[in-house]
Amino acid sequence: MTPIEKWPVFRRHDQAAACLQIWSDLGRAPRTIEAYARGLGEYLLLCERSGVDPVTANRADVAVYVRELTSRPHHRGANVISMDSGVGLANATIQQRLVPVRLFYDHLIEEGLRSSNPVGRGRYTPGRRRGGQAKGLVPRLTKLPWIPDEDQWLRILHVAQSEPVRNRLMLALAYDAALRREELCLLRTDDVDPSRRTLRIRAETTKTRLERVVPYSATAGVLLSQYLRHRATLTRSRGLLFLSESRRNYAEPLTLWTWSKVVRRIALEADVERFSTHTTRHLCLTDLARMGWELHEIATFAGHRQTDSTLQYIHLSGRELADKLRGGMEHIHAWRVQTLAGETAQLNSEVAR
């Protein structure tokens, strides 16, 4: 189903449909197009309910959309894993919804249909106070990724031990190589090099469109050998590595949603509800930071185009703060000892007199 078919509202708004087509023609990832269509489609529907022409809407009209995002009940209801207020979408999701709306108005400005964009963006503006930083429409909250503690991770591993070899291999590779869900599920048989124990992560499967080669452990290599023998009983054809074994989709490529359901089931059984398909990536990159990897090395391993995302894992590991604290405490400790030694010498001198 195309985004236009999923969101018929675009058929009633030519400029929005043209904007969506431009994004698609520019080669944006299919999942990005889906996210853009959802954010802009929801905004167009709200404008229709409010009797507002989206082409001429102002900042107050966009603010109504923001209010709706922050107050709507979540469609997943009781399945919501973490929500600060229990109502509305998370801050990161709201930011995501606003991106296509902002890009839509950028498009209208380029077409000469507007002179300004009602969706503000945080950007550096010379001459402004507080470092010249202009605030966006919605304050951006930056939170560190969640990772399980040792007890929670052991519970996940204990449950995973009884899983089929395919699921155990997928968890192992997801952690070893810090793979995103799409990167893992879209691995092909020819992306694996068992002789060097490496995976080729193709550019078209990544979020940043950066191809990379990453290693995996010897333990994952053993699981891979077992799975390849099992996979040969399903099909002899090459192609996507991980296959479904359900009766409905037997020997068909495993979907992203099926893998999410597998991980969700493991998380619930292990009583670690916050564990998700992305948690293994967070845990791996944090462990690399804890081991002393440099920032650029972690960024290359993770496939980050900018190091801003990588810095989250450095901060989460506490490595830099620990190093600074250790160095500072050594200096303070030396100063205290020297001070005590000086006071003791002075006291001995007074007693001798």
Per-residue model confidence as pLDDT tens digits over 56-71: 999 999 999 988 888 8
Q: Does domain 150-317 have CATH number 1.10.443.10?
A: yes
Burial (0-12, 13-18, 19+ Cβ within 10 Å), 44: buried
Q: Which of 14-28, 57-71, 131-145 has the lowest mean pLDDT?
A: 131-145
pLDDT digits (tens, 9 = 90+) for 148-158: 999 999 999 99
The three-state DSSP-derived secondary structure of 257-317 is: HHHHHHHHHHHHHCCCCCCCCCHHHHHHHHHHHHCCCCHHHHHHHHCCCCHHHHHHHHHHH
* Residue 257 CA from chain centroid, whole number: 16
Q: What percentage of the chain exceeds 70 in pLDDT? A: 79
Q: Report pLDDT for 99.
A: 92
Nearest partner of 88 among 99, 100, 98, 76, judged by Cα: 76
pLDDT digits (tens, 9 = 90+) for 228-253: 999 999 999 999 999 999 999 999 99
C-alpha span between 144 and 311 (Å, rounded): 10
Q: Which CATH architecture has domain 3-134?
A: Orthogonal Bundle (1.10)
C-alpha span between 346 and 224 (Å, rounded): 71
Q: Report pLDDT for 73.
A: 67
Does the pLDDT of residue 280 top 60, yes or no? Answer: yes
Q: Report pLDDT for 347.
A: 45
pLDDT digits (tens, 9 = 90+) for 78-87: 444 443 444 5
In the chain, what are the domain boundaries? 3-134, 150-317
pLDDT digits (tens, 9 = 90+) for 304-336: 988 888 888 877 777 655 665 566 666 665 555
C-alpha span between 268 and 78 (Å, rounded): 13
Identical topology for domains 3-134 and 150-317: no
- Full DSSP string of 195-220: TTTEEEE-GGGSSS---EEEE--HHH
- Residue range 14-24: mean pLDDT, rounded: 94
C-alpha span between 165 and 262 (Å, rounded): 13
Q: Which of 136-150, 194-208, 273-287, 295-309 has the lowest mean pLDDT?
A: 136-150
* Residue 24 CA from chain centroid, whole number: 22
- Residue range 193-198: mean pLDDT, rounded: 96
Going by the DSSP 8-state scheme, the letter that residue 224 receives in this structure is: H
